[in-house]
Structure 1
Amino acid sequence: MPRLSSWAALPLLLATAPSSLAAPLLAARQSNPKTLDSCLQNAGLSPVTTSSTNWDRDSAAYNQRLEPTPTAILYPLSQDEISSALSCAAQSGFSVSARGGGHSYASYSLGGTDGALVIDLGNLVDISVDSNGVAAIGGGSRLGDIYLALDKEGWAVAAGVCNGVGIGGHAGFGGFGYPSRMWGLLSDQVVGYDVVLANGTALTNLTRDQNPDLFWALNGAAPNYGIVTKYYVQAHHKPATAVVFSYTYNSPSTVNAATAFESFASFGNTSAPANLGITATIGSGSIEISGVWYGPRAEFDGVIQPLLDELLPPDSSDVEAMSWIDSATKLAGVDDLATNGKMLQSRDSFYAKSIMTPSTIPVSVDVLESFFDYLWHSGKGGDTNWFVEVNTYGGANSAINNVSLADSSFGFRDKHLTFQLYASSSTYGNPYPDDGVSFVQGMYDTVVDGMTAKGWSNNSSSPDGYAGYVNYVDPQLTFDQVKNLYWGSQYNKLSALKAQYDPQQLLNRPQGIQPSSS
């Protein structure tokens, strides 16, 4: 049985009877800063506010295009302090947003809109692993630090390449990395949670067996239901060797680029082994097919050759065998994975969208030709630095698609590719160019409109449906688009659980799960 504590003094039975959590925490969202300040002080909590010396640093958004202003930022040391902070927010009418690494594409870790109380988990960064490979990872930990800590003990997890990304949003909404085709999303590797629910109830090492519905909700949509202070993750023995590879084509014709992409996609969908992570990255006038083989160098050539046989000779290539941790460092593009407690390793000003493609209907060559023509010729990118990154999520051998929707609230387990369509300002700072958003939207429309004419369904949960990846959150989407593209058939159950655990939306964000009315 998990340990519980609660400012609401709720009985122990709430851990297994979530419907009794439905008592409202907020009568109305009429915020009172003086009430919040007084309550936090009485609880012994000292937030950073607009009058604090370090306010500009602490309130900085990763995406400078979207910079909401919180009412205060709190750095708790424990679940009890988080529980007290939630109580104060509830009493004073403020919504709450948790911040881990602070890399939300829409600045939702700062609330998404002005006036949120931000609970920063930067003090909760302890990482340990037991003899069975179960890693206890503090909710404020960042991926680079996690990789280093586990590697020392001979373990590894599947997660993203950016060393400064926090585990909170990453695992909270899935979490893809190159090893995910063999080990699943980061959320798939989670076996327990320390979490403070919206009503202040603190749970320690909540497992699937103890509360299947709450575990299901946390396992793919966690920030909507609570603040996770520790993840228990089943790690894996680190591979003895990682082979990092890339094949680059400079200034290909749209026809050759489309043909190469089609070969890459087909290989990933039907032939790529689970321990091969593979990506296509498109830049201004180039396409690169790259990734990692987690296996012996001697086997790599035989694995990749069927794809190379379908491609023209590359303009350049690189194949290098190295250790697991060296591959993580190389893929992150840094000299040292350690973040040394720094909140943001870099900042940007950008807009991004995503497409998750169905496995049943591949993107056709003619649509790909139109896509490359748009990117390289007809699209009006303005003063932007843009890229398109296409990851192979699914395919016949992917562990991601072997997980049932009944076991995790992550929206989709039948998709193939995930497109990230991304455009920064030319300086990676403000101002953001006026045509940047429309340029990215044009990328999206070229693929989606072209393929819906060829059988893609607008119903994301259909086998032929396209979807979106919630960790590449797009603040331009409407409520109905969010429901469909990010959650699909999972949304109704998520909404019902939101009504049980956070009916007044204390843990709120502009695109958060809305509580059902019944």
Structure 2
Amino acid sequence: MPRLFSWALPLLLAAPSSLAAPLLAPRQSNPKSLEACLQNAQLSPVTTSSTNWGRDSAAYNQRLEPTPTAILYPLSQAEISSALSCASQSGFSVSARGGGHSYASYSLGGVDGALVIDLGNLVDISIDADGVATIGGGSRLGDIYLALDKEGWAVAAGVCNGVGIGGHASFGGFGYPSRMWGLLSDQVVGYDVVLANGTSLTNLTREQDPDLFWALNGAGPNYGIITAYYVQAHHKPATAVVFSYTYNSPSTVNAATAFTSFASFGNTSAPANLGITATIGKGSLEISGVWYGPRAEFDGVIQPMLDELPPYDSSSIEAMSWIDSAKKLAGVDDLATNGKMLQSRDSFYAKSIMTPSTIPVSVNVLESFFDYLWHSGKGGDTNWFVEVNTYGGANSAINNVSLTDSSFGFRDKHLTFQLYASSSTYGNPYPNDGISFVQGLYDTVVNGMTAQGWSNNSSAPDGYAGYVNYVDPQLTFDQVKNLYWGSQYNKLSDLKAQYDPQQLLNRPQGIQPSSS
């Protein structure tokens, strides 16, 4: 059973706020009260007067740089519980920070004045004989891969070794193996979590509390601070074949044809142990991925797609070990992070599109999309890329999880587009036309396909959606509900009213408590 201790009554008895509340409800904060409370609890946060404040408070996305009131590095659930109590009594909202890669700087609160609880001290990783890994909430993907690989195990998660498990697993967590093993959240079987009311739970499972587990499994940071994940790992594949097919300066017609072939193959016949992506850069298109199987079988697996592709300019096919494939995909020689973010900071804006499996993006819309990217001149002073991952399709494990088993919003989508534009220097200032350029990309696809049958209702079979880990801070409240959560939102809102009615764990675009 979960282990409990709590200072819960004040929050449990509080009246929930309205569903129509603003994206971030204001709180009446008292900095001196917070400081005194933390001192009494023998907690020593980093503050604006601390030597390392500039380093510790730096945002990954420099375009959005909120200033926290303090940053705490707890060593235990008990310290987190005390910190939440202090924040509640002093009127401060709280944000957890794992890897710190939030696209909208929500790990720093999203707006000024949050108490940030950094999980960087909670990085222990172990695995038992049954392959259940216990992974500290501050662990980063590269360190997880290394620790599990030594014992012969692996999990499906993203390629960037410096990304933390926290936001990644809490809001889905896609990687090349996800078509055979599911999202990272799908592999989670238990949580150590401190709820907003201060209650600490150890190895909370679906069987012990189905509703709370459901909420944590897709929207976790809205309900508690997850200090450890129990993840069912998988025996690592003996071989990984990393491949790419590259077009240099293709015509819009050839690019649209190649993309259509890639998308159709992924939707109808790609095996589950084939992860496949299209990456679009300035004047280039690359179709790449990983086959988790014998090299001798790869040519036969990929040939149906190659038969439909226009001639490409170059290709690469390399067979290697599981862990070497993780290094290659991350673009590093060593996956170890030593608790550091590693990836350089950036100044950027991004949007996402999850496409329905029922209506593929048409050739004429793709031609307009490539023309916009390569010939309109609207990219301005930006460094941009578009990455399109095959999430769904006929054989994808992601589609096998019911909406009643996880609060992740969508299990019937096909492709996920990430539309991403950095400043030319990857620092500030961000160009004035950067956001409109990305929005134009989005509109080219969404408006074009809405005219051809896509539904604005994200939960409809023909509906398009968004991926919450590529969070877009420009969205309205109604857009957030529809694009990121769809039909899951109402239950999430009811559970928010149950577990965090005062919105202590609050950030822009967070789940709002229902009024019922």
Deviation at 1:346, TM superposition (A): 1.5
- 1:177-199 superposed Cα distances (whole Å, 9 cap, x missing partner): 00000000000000000000000
Deviation at 1:345, TM superposition (A): 3.0
Give the match for residue 27 of structure 2.
29
In 2: Cα distance, 1:71 partner to 1:18 partner: 25
Asked if 1 retains the 8 angstrom alpha-carbon contact of 2:17 and 2:514, the reply is: no
Asked if 1 retains the 8 angstrom alpha-carbon contact of 2:12 and 2:499, the reply is: no
In 2: Cα distance, 1:2 partner to 1:93 partner: 29
- 1:28-53 superposed Cα distances (whole Å, 9 cap, x missing partner): 82100000000000000000000000
Deviation at 1:341, TM superposition (A): 1.7
Asked if 2 retains the 8 angstrom alpha-carbon contact of 1:385 and 1:425, the reply is: yes
In 1: Cα distance, 2:467 partner to 2:295 partner: 32
In 1: Cα distance, 2:10 partner to 2:467 partner: 37
Asked if 2 retains the 8 angstrom alpha-carbon contact of 1:96 and 1:508, the reply is: yes
Name the TM-score, length of structure 2 as normaliser: 0.97
Structure 1: which 5+ residue stretches go unaligned?
Answer: none
Asked if 2 retains the 8 angstrom alpha-carbon contact of 1:339 and 1:345, the reply is: no
Deviation at 1:334, TM superposition (A): 1.0
Classify 1:142/1:107 alpha carbon distance in 2 versus 1 (closer, same or farther; 3 Å).
same
Classify 1:232/1:14 alpha carbon distance in 2 versus 1 (closer, same or farther; 3 Å).
farther
1:380 aligns with 2:378: yes
* Secondary structure, aligned partner of 2:323: helix
* Secondary structure, aligned partner of 1:175: coil
Deviation at 1:313, TM superposition (A): 2.3
Deviation at 1:5, TM superposition (A): 1.2
Deviation at 1:18, TM superposition (A): 14
Classify 1:22/1:491 alpha carbon distance in 2 versus 1 (closer, same or farther; 3 Å).
closer
- 1:213-259 superposed Cα distances (whole Å, 9 cap, x missing partner): 00000000000000000000000000000000000000110000001
Deviation at 1:124, TM superposition (A): 0.1
Residue range with higher mean Cα deviation, 504-513 or 310-319: 310-319
Asked if 2 retains the 8 angstrom alpha-carbon contact of 1:21 and 1:501, the reply is: no
Give the match for residue 11 of structure 1.
10
Deviation at 1:340, TM superposition (A): 1.1
Asked if 1 retains the 8 angstrom alpha-carbon contact of 2:16 and 2:515, the reply is: no
In 1: Cα distance, 2:143 partner to 2:300 partner: 34
Deviation at 1:25, TM superposition (A): 19
In 2: Cα distance, 1:46 partner to 1:338 partner: 28
Deviation at 1:503, TM superposition (A): 0.4
Asked if 2 retains the 8 angstrom alpha-carbon contact of 1:243 and 1:294, the reply is: yes
In 1: Cα distance, 2:436 partner to 2:490 partner: 32
Asked if 2 retains the 8 angstrom alpha-carbon contact of 1:460 and 1:485, the reply is: yes
Classify 1:168/1:18 alpha carbon distance in 2 versus 1 (closer, same or farther; 3 Å).
farther
Classify 1:448/1:28 alpha carbon distance in 2 versus 1 (closer, same or farther; 3 Å).
closer
Deviation at 1:314, TM superposition (A): 1.4
- 1:310-367 superposed Cα distances (whole Å, 9 cap, x missing partner): 1122111100000000000000011111111214532111000000000000000000
Classify 1:269/1:244 alpha carbon distance in 2 versus 1 (closer, same or farther; 3 Å).
same
In 2: Cα distance, 1:369 partner to 1:306 partner: 23
Deviation at 1:427, TM superposition (A): 0.8
Asked if 1 retains the 8 angstrom alpha-carbon contact of 2:94 and 2:115, the reply is: yes
In 2: Cα distance, 1:25 partner to 1:365 partner: 38
Classify 1:512/1:12 alpha carbon distance in 2 versus 1 (closer, same or farther; 3 Å).
closer
Asked if 2 retains the 8 angstrom alpha-carbon contact of 1:259 and 1:365, the reply is: yes
Asked if 1 retains the 8 angstrom alpha-carbon contact of 2:17 and 2:501, the reply is: no
Name the TM-score, length of structure 1 as normaliser: 0.97
Deviation at 1:14, TM superposition (A): 13
1:471 aligns with 2:469: yes
In 2: Cα distance, 1:395 partner to 1:30 partner: 48
* Secondary structure, aligned partner of 1:4: coil
Classify 1:514/1:245 alpha carbon distance in 2 versus 1 (closer, same or farther; 3 Å).
same
Asked if 2 retains the 8 angstrom alpha-carbon contact of 1:278 and 1:391, the reply is: yes
* Secondary structure, aligned partner of 1:128: strand
Give the match for residue 261 of structure 2.
263
In 1: Cα distance, 2:330 partner to 2:180 partner: 20
Classify 1:20/1:426 alpha carbon distance in 2 versus 1 (closer, same or farther; 3 Å).
closer
Classify 1:44/1:343 alpha carbon distance in 2 versus 1 (closer, same or farther; 3 Å).
farther
Classify 1:104/1:462 alpha carbon distance in 2 versus 1 (closer, same or farther; 3 Å).
same
* Secondary structure, aligned partner of 1:265: helix
In 1: Cα distance, 2:136 partner to 2:183 partner: 18
In 2: Cα distance, 1:12 partner to 1:35 partner: 18
Give the match for residue 2 of structure 1.
2
Percent identity, please. 92
In 2: Cα distance, 1:410 partner to 1:19 partner: 24
In 2: Cα distance, 1:155 partner to 1:301 partner: 26
- 1:274-306 superposed Cα distances (whole Å, 9 cap, x missing partner): 000000000001100000000000000000011
Give the match for residue 307 of structure 1.
305
Classify 1:476/1:26 alpha carbon distance in 2 versus 1 (closer, same or farther; 3 Å).
closer
In 1: Cα distance, 2:380 partner to 2:514 partner: 42
In 2: Cα distance, 1:157 partner to 1:206 partner: 20
Asked if 1 retains the 8 angstrom alpha-carbon contact of 2:17 and 2:502, the reply is: no
* Secondary structure, aligned partner of 1:21: coil
Match of 1:192 among 184, 190, 193: 190
- 1:91-139 superposed Cα distances (whole Å, 9 cap, x missing partner): 0000000000000000000000000000000000000000000000000
Asked if 2 retains the 8 angstrom alpha-carbon contact of 1:360 and 1:463, the reply is: yes
* Root-mean-square deviation over aligned CA pairs: 2.8
Classify 1:23/1:358 alpha carbon distance in 2 versus 1 (closer, same or farther; 3 Å).
closer
In 1: Cα distance, 2:352 partner to 2:27 partner: 32
Asked if 1 retains the 8 angstrom alpha-carbon contact of 2:3 and 2:201, the reply is: yes
In 1: Cα distance, 2:23 partner to 2:91 partner: 9
In 1: Cα distance, 2:78 partner to 2:18 partner: 21
In 2: Cα distance, 1:409 partner to 1:452 partner: 26
Classify 1:492/1:20 alpha carbon distance in 2 versus 1 (closer, same or farther; 3 Å).
closer
- 1:397-416 superposed Cα distances (whole Å, 9 cap, x missing partner): 00001100000000000000
Match of 2:400 among 389, 399, 402: 402
Classify 1:319/1:25 alpha carbon distance in 2 versus 1 (closer, same or farther; 3 Å).
closer
Asked if 1 retains the 8 angstrom alpha-carbon contact of 2:18 and 2:513, the reply is: no
Classify 1:149/1:236 alpha carbon distance in 2 versus 1 (closer, same or farther; 3 Å).
same
Deviation at 1:20, TM superposition (A): 18
Asked if 1 retains the 8 angstrom alpha-carbon contact of 2:16 and 2:513, the reply is: no
Classify 1:487/1:284 alpha carbon distance in 2 versus 1 (closer, same or farther; 3 Å).
same
Classify 1:256/1:25 alpha carbon distance in 2 versus 1 (closer, same or farther; 3 Å).
closer
In 2: Cα distance, 1:176 partner to 1:18 partner: 33
- 1:46-77 superposed Cα distances (whole Å, 9 cap, x missing partner): 00000000000000000000000000000000
Asked if 1 retains the 8 angstrom alpha-carbon contact of 2:18 and 2:515, the reply is: no
* Secondary structure, aligned partner of 2:288: strand
In 2: Cα distance, 1:22 partner to 1:302 partner: 54
Asked if 1 retains the 8 angstrom alpha-carbon contact of 2:19 and 2:512, the reply is: no
In 2: Cα distance, 1:419 partner to 1:399 partner: 19
Asked if 1 retains the 8 angstrom alpha-carbon contact of 2:409 and 2:486, the reply is: yes
1:150 aligns with 2:148: yes
Classify 1:27/1:328 alpha carbon distance in 2 versus 1 (closer, same or farther; 3 Å).
closer
Deviation at 1:307, TM superposition (A): 0.4
In 2: Cα distance, 1:60 partner to 1:22 partner: 32
Classify 1:503/1:10 alpha carbon distance in 2 versus 1 (closer, same or farther; 3 Å).
closer
Asked if 2 retains the 8 angstrom alpha-carbon contact of 1:189 and 1:234, the reply is: yes
